Structure 1
Amino acid sequence: MERLIEFDKQLLLAINHWTSPWADQLMTIMSKVAIWYPLYLIVAIAVFIPATYSGRSLYRNECSGVKMWKAGLAALLSVLVCCVCTDLLGHIVRNAVCRPRPGYDAELGSMMRLIAGPGNLYGFFSSHAANTIAFAVATSLIIKRRAWTVVSLVWALLICYSRCYLGQHYPTDVVTGIACGLLFAFGAYWIYRFVMRKLLARVV
């Protein structure tokens, strides 16, 4: 365990000190939650548009007899529940584990570049990582468009990286958040498939 903790700290320092002025600006932007609200709104609208989905998606393949707004609502609510649950679990775990963020470590904090400040006191696990991965993976599974999958995953992983770059989280905080996000994303897709099957059964 001690080796893992030490590796976690050394990896964080390596990421935090691998810097450039443009990266400072980019990572600060990537970590701002509010700046991505328009993206979430666009996706929330797009799930009601048939052209959003690929021909391989459950929506396009099987829901011709289902009212389109119901299929879109199933997608929207599945992703929304997924993201709310990851965020809620993150707050519960953070207050239960009580692991301080790197900036509050007396020795480590003095060696770090805290561009955006140390953040709130506790940081395990990263809600940024959990929420963005959950959103990217859940929407990718539902929409099934390769371009969206690539763009959304790169976007989510950049946000995850930014959390260590800014010194807000240890790498293990972020990796745990990613794992949580993946778990809830696949759960959201299962819910979506279940709801869609129920809708299709009513049509048949």
Structure 2
Amino acid sequence: MFQKLLNWDKETFIYLNGLGTESYDSFWSTITEITTWIPLFLLFALLFILKFPRRESLLNILSVVATTIFIVVLTYLAKIFIERPRPCNDETINSAIRILKTPTDYSFFSGHASSSFAITAMVFLLLRSRVKWAWIFFLWPLAFSYSRIYVGVHFPLDILVGAIIGILSAIFFYKMYKRLFYPTQG
């Protein structure tokens, strides 16, 4: 059963990665860089500042930072414990795929997926009652995560597990945030 899942993962990766074309390489290579998203992070901070009183906006920003630090550490520990090679470093498939990036660390689970979904879920949970269109922020982790398949560095299961762990981490931190700072609110 587990081997079937891993085979599906490789086959799905090869298919999705194979959809790429040179004309989109520059776009997806830009999307996969964290620095590309700095304006989005500034928008998140600005929305907190505009939509909440000063103390609460600072607490919101700090809670997103705490969630991010947690997920980065968790991802790092998972990668060194599990040691799954990245597709670009997997000798059974790397000659059959498009490779645009070649990191040498491990693959499981995706730090891009876990951190982007954690940040977005936390921002969404904090802003959803004040910014009705906050759901649109989830376009970022979807594009950011898919870019990792496109550039040849993550399998679909790396992305899926990273997204789930990121969202669950954000929910946990959101509940802790509410319990610590607003214990009387349900």
User: Same fold by TM-score, threshold 0.5 exceeded?
Assistant: yes
Deviation, structure 1 residue 192: 2.8
Contact 2:30–2:36 (8 Å) recurs in 1: yes
Larger Rg: 1
Structure 1 match to 2:68 = 83
Aligned equivalents of 1:189, 1:121: Cα separation in 2: 30
Residue number among 79, 83, 104 corresponding to 1:120 in the alignment:
104
Aligned equivalents of 2:67, 2:105: Cα separation in 1: 25
Aligned equivalents of 1:143, 1:130: Cα separation in 2: 20
Letter in 2 for 1:81: A
Aligned equivalents of 1:121, 1:195: Cα separation in 2: 36
**Structure 1 unaligned runs (5+)?**
51-58, 60-67
Contact 1:71–1:196 (8 Å) recurs in 2: no
Letter in 2 for 1:13: I
Structure 2 match to 1:63 = none
Structure 2 match to 1:64 = none
Structure 2 match to 1:32 = 33
Structure 1 segment 164-203 matched on structure 2, within 5 A: 164-198=149-183
Q: Kindly indicate whether residue 134 of structure 2 is the aligned counterpart of residue 133 of structure 1.
A: no
Deviation, structure 1 residue 72: 0.8
Structure 1 match to 2:148 = 163
Letter in 2 for 1:139: V
Give the number of aligned pairs. Answer: 182
**Structure 2 unaligned runs (5+)?**
none
Q: Deviations over 1:73-93 (max 9, x none)?
A: 121111111111111100011
Structure 1 match to 2:132 = 146
Contact 2:89–2:104 (8 Å) recurs in 1: no
Deviation, structure 1 residue 26: 2.1
Aligned equivalents of 2:88, 2:50: Cα separation in 1: 44
RMSD over aligned Cα atoms: 1.7
Q: Return 21-30 or 10-19, whichever deviates more.
A: 21-30
Deviation, structure 1 residue 120: 2.1
Structure 1 segment 21-100 matched on structure 2, within 5 A: 21-50=22-51, 68-100=53-85
Aligned equivalents of 1:22, 1:110: Cα separation in 2: 21
Aligned equivalents of 2:55, 2:180: Cα separation in 1: 10
Aligned equivalents of 2:139, 2:39: Cα separation in 1: 18
List structure 1 runs of 4+ shifted beyond 3 angstroms.
none
Q: Percent same amino acid at aligned positions?
A: 25
Contact 2:83–2:108 (8 Å) recurs in 1: yes
Say if 1:21 and 1:147 are closer, same or farther in 2 by CA, change over 3 A.
farther
Contact 2:28–2:151 (8 Å) recurs in 1: yes
Aligned equivalents of 1:158, 1:29: Cα separation in 2: 11
Contact 2:99–2:152 (8 Å) recurs in 1: yes
Structure 2 match to 1:62 = none
